[in-house]
């Protein structure tokens, strides 16, 4: 049996080298998937998938890992990805669902749903950091994929911009936490607000810092979200002495489960 020739990815090819190499091997539509909000202790988890066109039309000036871009650059590139992509989709998983299903399961489900929502079927899938099972096409998990593959970088920008916009809206609905500034991640200001006001319904109670200020740090992770009569109001609890960090506890890979509240926020075909 003849061994197929190796696919060579040349470093000088830059952000588009991996996709171009796969396209030369016959995988015409290469989709990238990424997420935003894993490390945040408030707000939704957002996943996105994108397929960029072949050739010059798929090359977007300044495209990079969303974390390395300024907010203005992210907004510009987001709009260019939306305008140029062959297909794209963004899926939002609410904080309550993250608490119920767990961060890892919710993350995989969100990326799986985003990829399944693409109106152009991918021939190959690239994901950032870890693989996504349950796909019916070949794929590859790429370390720091949003800095290596253009389609993953495009997905990271879609996810980040969508999530940032949501957090700005939540800042208006839940003032006093500073969601518009820190986007739900742990900062000194966010920690101080949690200690003073207690968590609101958009916080993730399966994260130790939120569970601690809610007084539910001894409860199992899946049971930490309280059955509050008025979830639109903050919980008035004080934080006991001692430092806390925004980390999900008790996270172990779980069997894939359907995600009830995920919403395809955007999607299109060009």
Q: Tell me whether residue 34 is annotated as binding.
A: yes
- Residue 260 CA to residue 158 CA, distance in Å, equals 22
Spatial distance between the Cα atoms of 96 and 74, rounded to a whole number of angstroms? 27
Report the Cα–Cα distance between both ends of the chain, in Å, rounded. 40
3-class SS of residue 117: coil
User: How far, in Å, are 5, 32, 150, 212 from residue 144 at the CA level?
Assistant: 26, 12, 12, 32
Measured CA to CA, the distance from residue 153 to residue 170 in angstroms comes to 26
Show Cβ contacts of residue 90 under 8 Å, excluding neighbours closer than 6 positions. 46, 47, 48, 114, 158, 159, 162, 264, 265, 266, 267
Report whether 65 belongs to an annotated binding site: no
Please state, in angstroms and as integers, the Cα–Cα distance from residue 2 to each residue in 5, 128, following that order: 9, 32
Residues 6+ positions from 80 with CB-CB distance below 8 Å: 60, 61
**Pairing, β 45-51 against β 30-36:** antiparallel
Closest by Cα among 33, 12, 267, 71 to 150: 33
State the chain's maximal CA–CA distance in angstroms. Answer: 69
In whole angstroms, what is the distance from residue 45 CA to residue 257 CA? Answer: 16
Binding residues: 34-35, 128
Annotated binding site for a divalent metal cation: 34-35, 128
């Amino acid at each position: 049996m003849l061994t197929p020739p190796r696919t060579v990815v040349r470093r000088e090819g830059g952000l588009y080298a991996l996709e171009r190499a796969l396209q030369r091997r016959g995988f015409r539509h290469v989709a990238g998937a990424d997420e935003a909000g894993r490390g945040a202790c408030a707000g939704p988890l957002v996943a996105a998938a994108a397929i960029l066109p072949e050739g010059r039309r798929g090359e977007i000036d300044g495209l990079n890992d969303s974390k390395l871009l300024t907010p203005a650059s992210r907004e510009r590139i987001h709009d260019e990805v939306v305008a140029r992509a062959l297909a794209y989709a963004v899926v939002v998983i609410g904080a309550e669902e993250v608490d119920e299903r767990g961060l890892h399961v919710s993350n995989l489900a969100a990326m799986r749903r985003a990829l399944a929502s693409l109106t152009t079927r991918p021939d190959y899938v690239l994901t950032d950091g870890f693989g996504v099972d349950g796909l019916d096409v070949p794929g590859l998990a790429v370390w720091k994929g949003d800095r290596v593959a253009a389609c993953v970088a495009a997905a990271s920008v879609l996810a980040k911009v969508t999530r940032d916009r949501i957090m700005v809206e939540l800042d208006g609905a839940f003032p006093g936490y500073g969601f518009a500034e820190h986007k739900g991640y742990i900062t000194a200001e966010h920690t101080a607000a949690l200690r003073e006001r207690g968590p609101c319904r958009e916080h993730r109670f399966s994260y130790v810092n939120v569970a601690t200020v809610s007084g539910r740090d001894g409860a199992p992770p899946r049971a930490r979200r309280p059955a509050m009569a008025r979830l639109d109001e903050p919980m008035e609890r004080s934080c006991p002495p001692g430092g806390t960090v925004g980390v999900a506890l008790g996270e172990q890979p779980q069997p894939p489960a359907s995600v009830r509240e995920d919403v395809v926020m955007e999607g299109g075909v060009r």
